[in-house]
Amino acid sequence: MRELVVLFVSALPISELRGGIPLALALGLTPAKAFIISIIGNVLPVPFLLLFLEKLKNLFLRVEVVERYYKKIEARVLKKKRIVEKYGYIGLALFVAIPFPATGAWTGSLLATLLDLEFKKSLIFISLGVIMAGCIVLSASLGLLTIPKILF
């Protein structure tokens, strides 16, 4: 049951594995299990997002409230497209790997969709970014890495 909760939290757009790994550790899962389950949970929605985000966007934009909210998110994501334009798919992985708010697999998937990037490569590089983010979050959660307070 704990594993399913961690999987679910890691799949959510706001928490992703930034929430999943610390939760897993707090629930008593081993670091290895916390890492693996959180990675799986975070990557799980990516293929569906890459395949269907454009179609869902067109459907949701018919609702005015959703359209305004989406346009704000889209504008924020497009401001970060330079890293992908400059470094290509490696830039996409780096963007996803940075465990800050408004980065991660969901935002990376939206960015890949907006830039009309290739599905297979996007999936691979977003997954690599998730793994890198998992290493950072796990290291920070275990006290092996400290994040400067200046970032918060």
pLDDT in tens, 62-81: 888 888 888 888 888 888 88
- Do 116 and 77 touch, CB atoms closer than 8 A? no
| pLDDT on residue 24 | 98
| pLDDT on residue 70 | 83
| pLDDT of residue 152 exceeding 60 | no
| pLDDT on residue 65 | 83
As given in the structure block, the two tokens for residue 144 are 């092996």
The DSSP call for residue 62 is T
| pLDDT on residue 62 | 82
As given in the structure block, the two tokens for residue 51 are 């395949």
| pLDDT of residue 19 exceeding 90 | yes
- Do 131 and 36 touch, CB atoms closer than 8 A? no
Average pLDDT, the chain: 91
| pLDDT on residue 87 | 92
Which sequence spans correspond to the domains of the chain?
2-151
Instruction: State the DSSP string of 36-88.
Output: HHHHHHHHTTHHHHHHHHHHHHHHHTTSHHHHHHHHHHHHHHHTTTHHHHHHT
Nearest-angstrom CA–CA distance, 15 and 44: 14
- End-to-end Cα, the chain, rounded Å: 33
Confidence of residue 17 (pLDDT cuts 50, 70, 90): very high
